[in-house]
Amino acid sequence: MTEALFTPFTLGDISVRNRIVMAPLTRNRARPEDDTPYALHAEYYAQRAGAGLIITEGTQISPEGKGYAWTPGIYSDAQVAGWKAVTEAVHAKGGRIAAQLWHVGRVSHTSLQEGGAAPVAPSAIGAASKTFDGTSFVQTSVPRALELDEIPRIVEDYRRAARNADAAGFDGVEIHAANGYLIDQFLRDTSNTRTDAYGGSVENRVRFLREVVEAVTGVLGAGRVGVRLSPFSNANNVGIDSDTLATFSAAIDVLNGAGVAFLHMVEGQTGGPRDWPEGALEALRDRFKGAYIANNGYTRDTAISAVASGKVDLVAFGKLYISNPDLAERLALDAPLNPLPTDGLYGGGAKGYTDYPMLARTAA
């Protein structure tokens, strides 16, 4: 009997060969001069095309949305051309790939912003976290609060990014609303102390998410759009909302109202413990009407069990995909996994990026 994890599935308008998702993995290898992906990225993603769905590394929707050195964008013609080579390489291997649309908000540094400007955020509250500026890890800069009349400009950046993703040949997009980045900052009352239409009540704090989702689905259609949330994570010191269940129930209602294809949920702390108040994650998961992608610390056995239960539709794997480009095949065969290296994870070239052995080469 074939376990459900290894069977085909359809997320909205995206049909995939199995229920294994490659999670977004920042690898800091875009061209430094213009944040453009190039041939090395095409090779990297094509190697991993055995996943049912690949979700790219975070891809900034504008220069302002950048928070780390050498991360790719999706706002220029050169970037679109670079991503087009990636999607063509993945499609040639029979894979499916979605672009993760990313604005980091306050998780940035003035050296990464045009003209040395302060990063932007819903409120002028620093993240007190670290970022990489191309030379070393530095403290994130204190942001300035966005003016009310600036918010439509950022929504328009998301709309343009969706158009660019379509032009680049992506099968869909994932809106990054997790891990303490801009949309997550708007959602939580720990990072959003605004007193206008985007702050205060839960209804106001989900407004920015709603407008972004409407903009992106207006371009691509809801069946090609997903959203990532991390309600129980304090990534980038975003803080835990005073009423997580109410806030993220409202966020999920936004997604249901738009009819998005999937919800990609970080279950617990990002890359950490799978902890949440009893029943809270389950309530949010059950509230969502589309395909549910579970993420955080899954193994082969727990992924098989989760999908078999019917509560989870797909499972995303992150770190395992770094050193196991053929992870989906290895999981299906219950084959040994390559160990995760300690160097070559961020920055550089092919070493530590595209040079991991696959099963066929291992056997040879």
The whole-angstrom separation of Cα 37 and Cα 269 is 29
At CB < 8 A and 24+ separation, what contacts does 86-90 make? 86/37, 86/41, 86/42, 86/45, 86/46, 86/56, 86/168, 87/168, 87/169, 87/170, 87/171, 88/42, 88/169, 89/42, 89/43, 89/45, 89/46, 89/49, 90/45, 90/46, 90/49, 90/54
Out of 181, 198, 298, 321, the active site residue is 181
**Residue 151: which H helix or E strand, with range?**
helix 151-167
Q: State the CB neighbour count (10 A cutoff) for residue 15.
A: 13
Q: Would residue 38 show up in a list of annotated catalytic residues for this protein? A: no
125 token code pair = 């509250």
Residue positions annotated with a catalytic role? 181
